[in-house]
């Protein structure tokens, strides 16, 4: 069974750093892209970027390029989304999804940034 399991909810202060994770299981982790999607409170889905764990090829939406870093550790079948300096506007649920078509999704990680 394909599963993507994301790390738990985070509460951070503005300016802090954060790295959230998405662990894949039940399939060959290095053979499928993993994408990240943001959903701000009460809003729609926004595509952030995608990584191919097999060779770490990474693509970003211009809206998020330079704001976040996407990475993966294929030895532990885990993809990451990280911020070096959080803002209040980063408060959202972040989802990972497998493949270009988003065939399987993680359960989401709620990130709250507040002073």
Q: Which residues bind another protein (CB under 8 A)?
A: 35, 37, 44-47, 49-50, 59-63, 95, 97, 100-108
* CB 51, min distance to another protein, A: 12
Cβ proximity to another protein, 3 vs 85, nearer residue: 3
3-state secondary structure of 111: strand
Cβ proximity to another protein, 54 vs 108, nearer residue: 108
| Residue 98: other Cβ atoms inside 10 A | 22
Cβ proximity to another protein, 54 vs 102, nearer residue: 102
The terminus-to-terminus CA distance of the chain in angstroms comes to 40
Strand order in the sheet with 3-6: 3-6, 18-25, 78-83, 69-73
* CB 15, min distance to another protein, A: 27
CA dihedral over 58, 71, 44, 86, signed as positive or negative: negative
């Amino acid at each position: 069974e394909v599963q993507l399991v994301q790390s738990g909810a985070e509460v951070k202060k503005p300016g802090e750093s954060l790295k959230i994770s998405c662990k894949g299981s039940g399939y060959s982790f290095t053979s499928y892209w993993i994408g990240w999607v943001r959903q701000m409170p009460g809003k729609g889905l926004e595509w952030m970027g995608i990584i191919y764990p097999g060779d770490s090829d990474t693509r970003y939406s211009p809206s998020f390029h330079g704001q976040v870093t996407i990475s993966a550790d294929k030895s532990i079948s885990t993809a990451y989304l990280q911020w070096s300096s959080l803002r209040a506007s980063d408060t959202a649920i972040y989802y990972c999804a497998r493949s270009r078509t988003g065939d399987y999704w993680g359960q989401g990680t709620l990130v709250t940034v507040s002073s």
